[in-house]
């Protein structure tokens, strides 16, 4: 039985959608699973009605809620990739044909901006779906539909009214004034605590308040443009050619959304989070991103493999902040430092960094990753009352629930915490005496930490490494015997040999990696300390 | 089918009705007091306060039946998963029993069996709490990042909370709690810190004036404000707060400042009034508070130490200096009321009651900032005799600090971390003419256990507000984002 032309077109249409689906899935699952991990760690979706109602209490609440609903599944990258694929395919089919592909590709480009939230994609899909579902309703229903759609999906409602004007005809251009009037009314009443750029344009689509990349406006405009073109251009060949050109242009445009260095750092953080130390070191061999963040990640991975003494200066070192960075008021920079603090036994400092990282999430959301670590710090310190509070929070999530229930069993049970493989060990590694942390004196803190517990080899490695980073030749000479005595090395690590040779020759020895580091620091800073 | 559906709906409705009104049967009695959260046993409340709803601390209790009887008459019941009283009935009962007591009989059902606990009393004070409510700042108890902070007001007769200013309205800005003039919010001041910072002064005309209080003579913008009773002046501390963090297992944060002075702003002329006694470099002055007659300015002061290294040496004293409102000038004789170094402790946050009878302050072992000191307690000085005593009736083994008085000076609100050592909550207590202080009660919530368990904010900088705060957030946002500030001058 031969296919009719209509049938063939339908097959082609669905085939295109399947191709889009496969492409989107592979893009996220194979190409950028770490981007999913990054998004996942800055939300904590709760399966409670309170959480749902709280989200729905502001405009765009449903898209925000659904966006976080999807983002929670990024915890398992293939699952997150599938859900994103569904969204992208939905958008492609709503827009239609190659125009839909072009829009999807623009979306992929946009999502390279790590602050663009899944709520934006949900809102786009939701609004396109609404415009499809309600295309045959009478115009007066818009009086009700526009405020409802605005409340559910936020400012993406601009796209809805634009599409409705196209569908209903220019006599209904008043809709374009009706929406801003509603927005202004919302600002005067229920959304007084929100600035107008948020109420009118961005709301929950972008993590940084009062900002949004222009592409977030271009994509809905592109949808409208595509529809207009489809309507105005009579020639199907021209329409096909134009959409194909746009899709190809958008395809070529996608990579520019993904800054190679930025995503390398995001990948490093993802690997640190999953304790894939070998992979961190392996990647570091291939691609250097000369930042303190990168150095923190690599040094932490080296220390976990007991390779810091051997190989520290095989890799780029950013300087005094290469092991632990000072406090930065953003949601990412201090993650590897917090991880290092935790493993060193500086539990309070880890808690501080994780707490402030969480509070630096500019849309005010909690972080599953940070909350989990904060709970661990509290458990180690025996602060059970506050730990119980955060455990109760995690128990309302999907992917942290089982972990939280395990942790809950240890509440108020010092014996269980002492026996816990990680928490028990950290209790042993903690300082026995209390004093104030000083970033400027962190080398001494590492040294004291090691003196408190000679099993804390990581503290010893960090102690020597920090002195080397500071160019403290006298300190290195003085404490190198510690490394020999307590380091557990069968021979003096090559890295230390290299450093000692450079120090003894006062920088005259050729080809020492440490010597090169000191020279570089002298050139950039006008002399190592 | 229709009949079946009607029958089903009726059956479900009846089940619900039966469930809602189930009264205790086969009740076993115990001599133990009921384990309730919050601990409202024996507290004293004002009439008209929001109902003191409570939960059983035992999570296995699935139902409570509570009877409240007033010793001057009246009775009400609550029945459900927790004690949730009807607001109007509660108000009527407390009004009827003003100056008397309410006796609560609590029955709790666990594993299908009812247990009746020993009755307990809640006392209704003869003193009214005339204010509309309280204002406070909600902030995550973090370290250096404020997060999603906000200033809120709460109607104390109901459970309604309203945002005055949230971080979402002025993204990226950190702000202090607003300070009304003797609980009257028509005249208020607040500060925005950091980039785009400024000091807002709003007078009775409702007009917002955003000032830059930083001058060549004052190193920082004003904070920790306190109004002169005339409304013509407002005192501020100009300091720069820093924090250091412990590496050990107990206390988390030590806050300190490297410089701090106290200045007074003449809000009529936008002039700063400085005096050498409050502008020293060897001492750090903070927490100004005018006496109710406006003739004295109380403040805390400590010797400048090498902080953070010498953080344990920071000991504040409470002093006062004469102030002449007519001329806008200070006297030069400073009285030391409480000597911190001599007593080896730190006296901070001295605030006189508005009737001039009492001076409440915070005592901790060290520091300018008692909120971070677990041993911080409230003390009370009788200004007629000069005698002081710790307020054992209200203090806990965690930080109790940042109190403020009600307009009639018979109530005070303070923040306490007694629940868990980390999250500050608001407590209220009353004081009579003899200085007898009652057991404090936690700010009521509709479902307190759920509310406080799920709240990840500290409630700090509380104050009473006589009326609902009418604050134009749109105008504030416009001014903050516009970044234009009126530069204050130094008064000659």
pLDDT at B19 over 50: no
Position B20 scores a pLDDT of 47
Cβ-Cβ contacts under 8 Å for A8 (sequence gap 6 or more): none
* Nearest CA-CA distance, residue B163 and chain A, Å: 8
Mutate to test the interface with B, among A191, A195, A337 (most CBs of B within 10 A): A195
- Residue A411, chain B, CB below 8 Å: the answer is no
- Residue A408, chain B, CB below 8 Å: the answer is no
pLDDT at B250 over 80: no
Helix (H, G, I), strand (E, B) or coil at B283: strand
pLDDT at B16 over 60: no
| Rounded distance between C-alpha atoms, residue B478 and residue B453, angstroms | 36
Lowest model confidence (mean pLDDT) among B6-10, B134-138, B359-363, B439-443: B6-10
* Nearest CA-CA distance, residue B482 and chain A, Å: 13
Position B147 scores a pLDDT of 81
pLDDT at A133 over 70: yes
| Rounded distance between C-alpha atoms, residue B348 and residue B283, angstroms | 14
- Residue B311, chain A, CB below 8 Å: the answer is yes
β-bridge mates for residue B28, sequence order: B115
Question: Residue A525 — very low, low, confident or very high, per pLDDT cuts 50/70/90?
Answer: low
Is residue B283 exposed (0-12), middle (13-18) or buried (19+ Cβ within 10 Å)?
middle
pLDDT at B90 over 50: yes
| Rounded distance between C-alpha atoms, residue B51 and residue B90, angstroms | 6
Q: Are B298 and B264 in contact (CB under 8 A)?
A: no
More confident residue, B6 or B117: B117
Over residues A53-75, mean pLDDT: 97
Position B55 scores a pLDDT of 98
Position B3 scores a pLDDT of 57
- Residue A397, chain B, CB below 8 Å: the answer is no
Position B8 scores a pLDDT of 55
Cβ-Cβ contacts under 8 Å for B13 (sequence gap 6 or more): none
- At A511-523, the pLDDT tens digits run 889 989 988 888 8
- Complex prediction ipTM: 0.91
Find, among B427, B407, B439, the residue nearest to B127 by Cα: B407
Position B221 scores a pLDDT of 80
- When the pLDDT of each residue in chain A is averaged and rounded to a whole number, the result is 94
Over residues B398-422, mean pLDDT: 97
Q: Closest residue of B to A342, CA-based?
A: B247
pLDDT at B5 over 70: no
Find, among B189, B306, B320, B188, the residue nearest to B262 by Cα: B320
Answer whether A431 sits within 8 Å of B142, measured CB to CB: no
| Rounded distance between C-alpha atoms, residue A287 and residue A298, angstroms | 11
Question: Residue B6 — very low, low, confident or very high, per pLDDT cuts 50/70/90?
Answer: low
- Residue A326, chain B, CB below 8 Å: the answer is no
Q: Which one of B248, B423, B474 has the shortest CB-CB distance to A192?
A: B474
Burial A366-384 (b: 16+ CB within 10 A, else e): bbbbbbbbbbbbbbbbebb
pLDDT at B348 over 90: yes
- Residue B484, chain A, CB below 8 Å: the answer is no
Number of CB pairs < 8 Å for A and B?
119
Mutate to test the interface with B, among A42, A61, A189, A192 (most CBs of B within 10 A): A192
More confident residue, A214 or B11: A214
DSSP letter (8 states) at residue A27: I
Burial B51-76 (b: 16+ CB within 10 A, else e): bbbbbbeeeebebbbbebbbeeebeb
Q: Which residues of A touch B165 (CB under 8 A)?
A: 193
What proportion of chain B, given as a percentage, has pLDDT over 90?
A: 81
Question: Residue A2 — very low, low, confident or very high, per pLDDT cuts 50/70/90?
Answer: low
- Residue B446, chain A, CB below 8 Å: the answer is no
β-bridge mates for residue B284, sequence order: B302
Q: Closest residue of B to A203, CA-based?
A: B168
Whether the ω angle into residue B38 lies within 30 degrees of 0, i.e. cis, is yes
More confident residue, B172 or A370: A370
Position A526 scores a pLDDT of 52
Q: Are A280 and A268 in contact (CB under 8 A)?
A: yes
- At B196-232, the pLDDT tens digits run 788 999 998 888 999 998 888 887 888 899 999 999 9
- Reported residue count of chain A is 529
Question: Residue A323 — very low, low, confident or very high, per pLDDT cuts 50/70/90?
Answer: very high
Lowest model confidence (mean pLDDT) among A159-168, A227-236, B172-181: B172-181
| Rounded distance between C-alpha atoms, residue A88 and residue A96, angstroms | 12
Over residues A131-151, mean pLDDT: 95
Lowest model confidence (mean pLDDT) among A75-79, A228-232, A308-312, A504-508: A504-508
| Rounded distance between C-alpha atoms, residue B191 and residue B137, angstroms | 13
DSSP letter (8 states) at residue B54: B
Find, among B58, B57, B40, the residue nearest to B49 by Cα: B40
| Rounded distance between C-alpha atoms, residue A74 and residue A72, angstroms | 5
Burial A12-33 (b: 16+ CB within 10 A, else e): eeeebbeebbebbbebbbeebb
Q: Are B429 and B409 in contact (CB under 8 A)?
A: no
Handedness of CA B255, B258, B264, B265 (dihedral sign): negative
Position B195 scores a pLDDT of 73
Cβ-Cβ contacts under 8 Å for A145 (sequence gap 6 or more): A130, A134, A137
Position A399 scores a pLDDT of 97
* Nearest CA-CA distance, residue A147 and chain B, Å: 22
- B129's tokens: 């709490």
List C-alpha distances in Å: A98 to A4, A19, A241, A251, B420: 21, 11, 9, 11, 59
Q: Which residues of A touch B37 (CB under 8 A)?
A: none
β-bridge mates for residue B256, sequence order: B242
Q: Closest residue of B to A394, CA-based?
A: B454
Over residues B336-355, mean pLDDT: 97
Q: Which one of A195, A329, A445 has the shortest CB-CB distance to B477?
A: A195
- At B412-458, the pLDDT tens digits run 999 999 999 999 999 999 999 999 999 999 999 999 999 999 999 99
Over residues A332-359, mean pLDDT: 96
pLDDT at A528 over 50: no
Q: Closest residue of A to B152, CA-based?
A: A193
Q: Are A302 and A311 in contact (CB under 8 A)?
A: yes
Question: Residue A4 — very low, low, confident or very high, per pLDDT cuts 50/70/90?
Answer: confident
Give this prediction's pTM.
0.93
Mutate to test the interface with A, among B162, B243, B247 (most CBs of A within 10 A): B247
Helix (H, G, I), strand (E, B) or coil at A299: helix
Lowest model confidence (mean pLDDT) among A121-135, A203-217, B150-164, B427-441: A203-217
pLDDT at A116 over 70: yes
pLDDT at A424 over 70: yes
Backbone angles phi, psi at A68, to 5 degrees: -70, -35
List C-alpha distances in Å: A158 to A161, A177, A178, A182, A201: 5, 10, 10, 12, 9
pLDDT at B482 over 80: yes
More confident residue, B3 or A231: A231
| CA B474, chain centre distance (Å) | 26
- A281's tokens: 């070191």
Residue A235 CB neighbours (<10 A): 9
What proportion of chain A, given as a percentage, has pLDDT over 70?
A: 98
Helix axes A335-344 and A292-304, enclosed angle (nearest 10) = 30
Instruction: Show the 3-state SS of A317-384.
Output: CCCCCCCCCCCCCCCCCCHHHHHHHHHHCCHHHHHHHHHHHHHCCCCCCCCHHHHHHHHHHHHHHCCH
- B196's tokens: 């785009």
pLDDT at B18 over 70: no
Position A94 scores a pLDDT of 95
């Amino acid at each position: 039985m031969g296919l009719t032309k209509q049938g063939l077109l339908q097959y082609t249409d669905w085939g295109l959608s399947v191709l889009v689906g496969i492409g989107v899935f592979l893009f996220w699952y194979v190409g950028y699973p770490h981007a999913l991990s990054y998004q996942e760690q800055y939300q904590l979706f709760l399966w409670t009605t309170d959480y749902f109602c709280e989200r729905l209490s502001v405009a765009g609440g449903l898209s925000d809620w659904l966006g976080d609903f999807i983002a929670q599944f990024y915890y398992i990258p293939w699952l997150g990739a599938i859900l994103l694929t569904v969204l992208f395919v939905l958008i492609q089919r709503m827009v239609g044909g190659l125009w839909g592909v072009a829009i999807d590709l623009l979306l992929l480009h946009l999502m390279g901006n790590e602050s663009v939230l899944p709520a934006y994609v949900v809102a786009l899909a939701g609004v396109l779906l609404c415009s499809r579902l309600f295309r045959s309703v009478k115009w007066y229903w818009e009086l009700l539909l526009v405020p409802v759609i605005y409340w559910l999906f936020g400012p993406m409602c601009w796209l809805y009214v634009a599409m409705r004007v196209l569908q209903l005809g220019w006599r209904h251009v008043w809709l374009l004034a009706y929406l801003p009037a509603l927005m202004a009314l919302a600002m005067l009443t229920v959304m007084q605590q929100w600035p107008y750029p948020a109420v009118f344009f961005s709301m929950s689509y972008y993590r940084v308040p009062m900002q949004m990349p222009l592409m977030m406006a271009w994509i809905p405009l592109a949808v409208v443009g595509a529809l207009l073109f489809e309507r105005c251009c009579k020639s199907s060949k021209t329409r096909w050619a134009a959409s194909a050109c746009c899709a190809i242009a958008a395809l070529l445009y996608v990579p520019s959304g993904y800054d190679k260095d930025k995503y390398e750092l995001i990948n490093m953080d993802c690997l640190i989070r999953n304790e894939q130390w070998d992979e961190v070191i392996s990647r570091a061999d291939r691609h250097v991103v000369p930042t303190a963040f990168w150095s923190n990640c690599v040094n932490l991975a080296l220390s976990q493999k007991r390779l810091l003494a051997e190989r520290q200066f095989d890799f780029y070192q950013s300087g005094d902040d290469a092991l632990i960075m000072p406090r930065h008021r953003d949601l990412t920079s201090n993650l590897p430092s917090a991880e290092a603090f935790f493993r060193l036994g500086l539990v309070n400092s880890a808690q501080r960094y994780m707490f402030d990282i969480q509070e630096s999430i500019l849309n005010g959301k909690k972080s599953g990753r940070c909350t989990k670590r904060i709970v661990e710090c509290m458990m180690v310190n025996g602060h059970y009352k506050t730990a119980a509070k955060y455990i109760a929070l995690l128990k309302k999530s999907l992917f942290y629930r089982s972990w939280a229930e395990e942790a809950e069993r240890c509440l108020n049970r010092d014996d269980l915490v002492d026996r816990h493989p990680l928490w028990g060990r950290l209790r042993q590694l903690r300082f026995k005496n209390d004093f104030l942390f000083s970033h400027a004196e962190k080398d001494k803190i590492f040294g004291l930490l090691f003196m408190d517990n000679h099993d804390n080899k990581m503290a010893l490695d960090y102690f020597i490494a920090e002195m080397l980073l500071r160019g403290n030749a006298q300190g290195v000479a003085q404490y190198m015997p510690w490394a020999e005595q307590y380091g557990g090395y069968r021979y003096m690590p090559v890295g230390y040999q290299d450093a000692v040779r450079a120090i003894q020759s006062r920088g005259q020895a050729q080809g020492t990696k440490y010597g090169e580091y000191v020279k570089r620091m002298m050139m950039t800073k006008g002399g190592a300390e | 089918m229709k009949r079946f559906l009607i029958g089903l709906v009726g059956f479900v409705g009846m089940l619900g009705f039966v469930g809602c009104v189930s009264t205790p049967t086969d009740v076993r009695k115990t001599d133990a007091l009921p384990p309730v959260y919050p601990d409202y046993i024996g507290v004293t409340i004002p009439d008209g306060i929001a109902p003191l709803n409570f939960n059983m601390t035992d999570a296995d209790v699935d139902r409570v039946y509570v009877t409240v009887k007033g010793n001057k008459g009246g009775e009400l019941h609550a029945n459900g998963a927790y004690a949730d009283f009807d607001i109007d009935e509660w108000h009527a009962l407390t009004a009827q029993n003003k100056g008397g007591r309410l006796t609560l009989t609590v029955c709790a059902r666990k594993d299908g069996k009812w247990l009746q606990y020993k009755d307990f009393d809640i006392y209704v004070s003869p003193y009214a709490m005339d204010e509309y409510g309280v204002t406070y700042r909600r902030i995550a108890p973090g370290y250096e990042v404020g997060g999603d902070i906000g200033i809120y007001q709460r109607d104390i007769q109901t459970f309604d909370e309203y945002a005055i200013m949230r971080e979402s309205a002025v993204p990226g800005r950190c702000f202090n709690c607003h300070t009304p003039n003797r609980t009257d919010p028509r005249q208020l001041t607040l500060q925005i810190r950091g980039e785009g910072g400024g000091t807002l002064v709003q007078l009775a005309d409702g007009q917002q004036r955003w000032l830059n209080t930083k001058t060549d003579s004052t190193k920082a913008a004003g904070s920790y404000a306190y109004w002169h009773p005339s409304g013509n002046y407002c005192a501020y501390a100009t300091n720069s707060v820093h924090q250091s963090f412990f590496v050990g297992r107990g206390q988390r944060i030590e806050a300190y400042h490297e410089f701090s002075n106290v200045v007074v702003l003449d809000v009529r002329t936008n002039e700063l009034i400085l005096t050498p006694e409050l502008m020293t470099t060897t001492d750090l002055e903070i927490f100004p508070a005018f006496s109710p007659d406006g003739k004295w300015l109380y403040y805390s002061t400590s010797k400048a130490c090498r902080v953070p290294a010498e953080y344990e040496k920071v000991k504040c004293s409470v002093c006062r200096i004469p102030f002449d409102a007519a001329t806008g000038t200070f006297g030069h004789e400073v009285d030391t009321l409480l000597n911190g170094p001599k007593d080896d402790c730190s006296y901070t946050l001295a605030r006189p009651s508005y009737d001039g009878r009492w001076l409440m302050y915070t005592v901790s072992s060290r520091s300018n900032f008692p909120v971070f000191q677990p041993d911080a307690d409230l003390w009370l000085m009788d200004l007629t005799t000069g005698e002081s005593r710790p307020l054992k009736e209200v203090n806990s083994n965690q930080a109790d600090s940042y109190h403020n008085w009600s307009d009639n000076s018979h109530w005070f609100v303070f923040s306490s971390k007694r629940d868990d050592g980390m999250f500050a909550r608001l407590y209220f207590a009353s004081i009579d003419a003899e200085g007898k202080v009652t057991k404090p009660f936690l700010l009521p919530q509709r479902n307190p256990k759920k509310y406080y368990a799920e709240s990840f904010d500290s409630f700090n900088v509380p104050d009473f507000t006589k009326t609902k705060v009418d604050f134009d957030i749109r105008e504030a946002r416009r001014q903050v984002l516009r970044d234009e500030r009126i530069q204050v001058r130094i008064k000659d």
